Chains A and B, each alone.
Chain A
Amino acid sequence: MSAGDPRRQQGAGWLFVTPAIVILGLFLVLPIGMALWVSLSDWAGRGSPFSGDVAFVGLDNYSALLAEPGLARQDLMLSFRNTFYYVVGVVPLQTVLALSLAVLLNNQFLKGRTFFRTAFYFPSVVSSVAISLLFLFLFAGGGAINNVLGWFGLNGPNWFQDPRGLIHLLGDGLGVWSTSSPPGWLTDPTVLGLSPWEWVAGPSVALSAIMLQVIWTTAGTFMLMFLAALQDLPTEVEEAAFVDGANKWQRFRNVTVPHLRPTILLVVTLGFIGTWQVFDQMYVMTQGGPAKTTLTPAYLSYQTAFDTGRWGQGAAIAFILFALIFALTTLQRWILRDKDEPRTSRFSRRRRRRRTTVQDETQTQAQTSGRLS
Chain B
Amino acid sequence: MKRTPRLFAIAAIGSLTLTACGGSGFEDSGGGEAGDSEAPASAEGPAELTMLIASSGDAETEAVEEAAAEWAEESGNQVEVRVAADMNQELAQGFAGGNPPDIFYLDAAQLAQQASTGNLYAYEATDNDDFYPSLRETFTWDDTQWCAPKDFSTLALQINTAAWEEAGLTDEDIPTTYDELSSVAEQLTEGDQVGLVLSPGIDRAGVFVVGNGGWWLNDEGTEPTGTSEEVLAGLQYLQDNMAEGHVAYAGSVDAGWGGEAFGTGRAAMTIEGNWIRGAMSNDYPDVDYTVVEVPEGPAGPGTLLFSQCWGVAAASDAQAQAVELINHLTDPEQQMEFADAFGVMPSRQSVAGEYEEAYPEDAPFIAGGDYGHGPVNAPGMTPVVEDLNSQLEGITNADLQQVMESFDTNASSALDQ
Q: Does A124 contact B (CB under 8 A)?
A: no
Contacts of B321 in A (CB 8 A): none
B88 within 8 A of A: yes
Segment with Cβ contacts to B, from A19-27, A228-236, A263-271:
A19-27
Query: Which residues does chain A contribute within 8 Å of B380, judged by CB atoms?
Result: 308, 310
Q: Of residues B14, B250, B315, B379, which shows the largest number of chain A Cβ atoms within 10 Å of its Cβ?
A: B14
Q: Which residue of A lies closest to B314 (CB)?
A: A46
A7 to B118, CA, bound (A): 56
**Distance A71 CA – B386 CA, assembled complex (angstroms):** 11
Q: Which interface residue of B2, B15, B383 has the most chain A CB atoms within 10 A?
A: B383
**Chain B, range 225-271, C-beta contacts under 8 Å to A:** 250-256
Task: Indicate with 1 or 0, residue by residue over B362-384, a CB within 8 angstroms of chain A CB atoms.
Answer: 00000000000000000110111
Residue contact A25 to B14, C-beta cutoff 8 Å = yes
B10 close to A (CB within 8 Å): yes
Across the interface, B113 reaches (CB within 8 A) one of A47, A72, A309, namely: A309
B394 CB contact (under 8 Å) in A29, A142, A163: A163
CB pair B410 A70 closer than 8 Å: yes
B116 closest partner in A (C-beta): A44
Q: Which of B16-24, B46-54, B341-349 contacts A (4 or more CB under 8 A)?
A: B16-24
Contact A289 B32 (CB under 8 A): no
Q: Does A274 contact B (CB under 8 A)?
A: no
Partner of A47, one of B2, B98, B394: B98
Q: In the complex, A140 Cα to B414 Cα: how many Å?
A: 36
Interface bracket on B: 35 or more
Known contacts A7-B3, A22-B17; A307 and B10 CB within 8 A of each other: no
Interface centre among B21, B96, B380, B410 (most CB of A within 10 A): B96
Complex Cα gap A22–B118 (Å): 35
Please classify how large the interface on chain A is, using the bins under 10, 10 to 19, 20 to 34, 35 or more: 35 or more
| A-B Cβ contacts below 8 A, count | 119
Task: Decide: A45 and B92 in contact? CB cutoff 8 A.
Answer: yes
Contacts of B114 in A (CB 8 A): 309
Do residues B88 and A70 form an inter-chain contact, with CB atoms below 8 A?
Answer: no
CB-CB under 8 A from B96, the residues of chain A are 45-47, 49
Q: Across the two chains, which residue of chain B brings its CB closest to A156?
A: B254
Tell me if B39 is interfacial: C-beta within 8 Å of chain A: no
User: Contact at A75–B387, with CB atoms within 8 Å?
Assistant: yes
Q: Choose from A7, A26, A71, A290 the contact partner of B2 (Cβ within 8 Å).
A: A7
Q: Return chain B residues, CB-CB under 8 Å to A140.
A: 254, 256
Question: Who on chain B is nearest to A10 by CB?
Answer: B3
A199 and B3 alpha carbons, distance in the complex (Å): 58
> What's the minimum C-beta distance from A163 to chain B, rounded to whole angstroms?
6
A158–B249 CA distance with the chains assembled, in angstroms: 12
Given A162-B251, A291-B394, A309 contacting B21 (CB threshold 8 A): no
- In angstroms, Cα B256 to Cα A157, docked, is 13
Tell me, rounded to whole Å, the shortest Cβ–Cβ distance linking A73 to chain B: 11
Cβ contacts under 8 Å, A308 to chain B: 113, 380, 382-383
The verdict on B139 contacting chain A, using a C-beta distance below 8 Å, is: no
B95 interfacial by beta-carbon distance below 8 Å = yes
- B391 at interface (Cβ–Cβ under 8 A)? yes
Check A46–B18 contact: CB distance below 8 A.
no
Q: How far is the CB of A197 from chain B (nearest CB, A)?
A: 12
Tell me the nearest residue of chain B to A22, going by C-beta: B17
The listed residue (B119, B254, B410) touching A158 by CB distance below 8 A is B254
With A163-B394, A305-B92, A308-B382 known to touch, is A26 a contact of B18 (CB < 8 Å)? Answer: yes
Interface of B is mostly: helix
Is the pair A180, B30 in contact by a Cβ cutoff of 8 Å?
no
A141-B255 in contact (CB<8A): yes
B413 interface residue, CB < 8 Å from A? yes
State the Cβ distance, B378 to closest chain A Cβ, in Å: 12
Q: Taking the complex as formed, is A118 at the interface, i.e. its CB lies under 8 A from any CB of chain B?
A: no
- Among A26, A181, A289, A306, the residue within 8 A (CB) of B88 is A306
Q: Which one of B382, B391, B410 lies within 8 Å of A291 (CB-CB)?
A: B391
State the CA gap A72–B409 with chains docked (Å).
12
Please give, as numbers and ranges, the residues of chain B lying within 8 Å of A70 by CB-CB distance.
Answer: 410, 413
Taking the complex as formed, is B390 at the interface, i.e. its CB lies under 8 A from any CB of chain A?
yes
- In the complex, chain B residues whose CB is within 8 Å of the CB of A29: 18
A369 at interface, CB cutoff 8 A: no
B37 part of interface (Cβ distance < 8 Å): no
Q: Does A48 contact B (CB under 8 A)?
A: yes
Query: Which residues of the other chain, B, contact A161 by a CB distance below 8 angstroms?
Result: 250-252, 256
CB distance from A128 to the nearest CB of B (A): 17
Whether A292 touches B390, Cβ cut-off 8 Å, given contacts A46-B32, A307-B382, A309-B117, is yes
Expressed in whole angstroms, the minimum distance between the Cβ of A325 and any Cβ of chain B is 24
- List A residues 275-312 near B (Cβ within 8 Å): 288-292, 303-310
B397, CB-defined interface residue at 8 Å = yes
Closest chain-B Cβ to A10's Cβ sits at a distance in Å of: 6
Minimum CB–CB distance for B386 against chain A, Å: 8
B251 contact set on A, CB distance < 8 A: 141, 158, 161-162, 290
Q: A18 on the interface (CB 8 Å rule)?
A: yes
A167 close to chain B: CB less than 8 A = no
Q: Verify B119–A46 contact, CB threshold 8 A.
A: yes
Determine which of A21, A48, A158, A289 lies in contact with B14 in the assembled complex, contact meaning CB atoms within 8 Å: A21
Contacts of B14 in A (CB 8 A): 18, 21-22, 25
Contact mask for chain A residues 336-355; partner B; CB cutoff 8 A; 1 contact, 0 none = 00000000000000000000
Docked CA distance A21–B30 (Å): 30
Tell me if B218 counts as interface (CB < 8 A to partner A): no
Check if B126 is an interface residue, CB within 8 A of chain A.
Answer: no
CB distance from A169 to the nearest CB of B (A): 14
Could you tell me the distance between the alpha carbons of A18 and B410 in the complex, rounded to whole angstroms?
A: 51
With both chains docked as a complex, state the minimum distance between the C-beta of B80 and any C-beta of chain A, in angstroms. 23
Residues of B within 8 A of A45 (CB): 92, 95-96, 117, 119
Max count, chain A CB within 10 A of own CB: residue among B22, B386, B387: B386
Residues of chain B within 8 A of A10, CB atoms compared: 3, 6
Tell me the bound Cα distance from A195 to B383 in angstroms. 20
In the complex, which residues of chain B have a beta carbon less than 8 angstroms from the beta carbon of A26?
A: 18, 21-22
Of the A-B pairs whose beta carbons lie under 8 Å apart in the complex, a sample of 8, sorted by A's number, is A48-B29, A49-B96, A140-B256, A158-B252, A163-B394, A181-B397, A291-B390, A303-B383
Q: A-contacting residues of B (Cβ < 8 Å)?
A: 2-3, 6-7, 10, 14-15, 17-18, 21-22, 26, 29-30, 32, 88-89, 92, 95-96, 98, 113-114, 117-119, 250-256, 315, 379-380, 382-384, 386-387, 390-391, 393-394, 397, 410, 413-414
Top 9 A-B residue pairs of the complex, sorted by shortest distance between their CB atoms: A141-B254, A161-B251, A47-B29, A48-B26, A48-B29, A291-B390, A44-B117, A71-B410, A292-B390
| Residues of A bordering B, CB below 8 Å | 7, 10-11, 14, 18, 21-22, 25-26, 29-30, 44-51, 70-72, 74-75, 140-142, 158, 161-163, 179-181, 288-292, 303-310
- Besides the contacts A70-B413, A71-B387, A75-B387, what 8 more A-B pairs have beta carbons closer than 8 Å? A7-B3, A21-B14, A25-B15, A26-B18, A49-B96, A74-B387, A291-B394, A309-B113
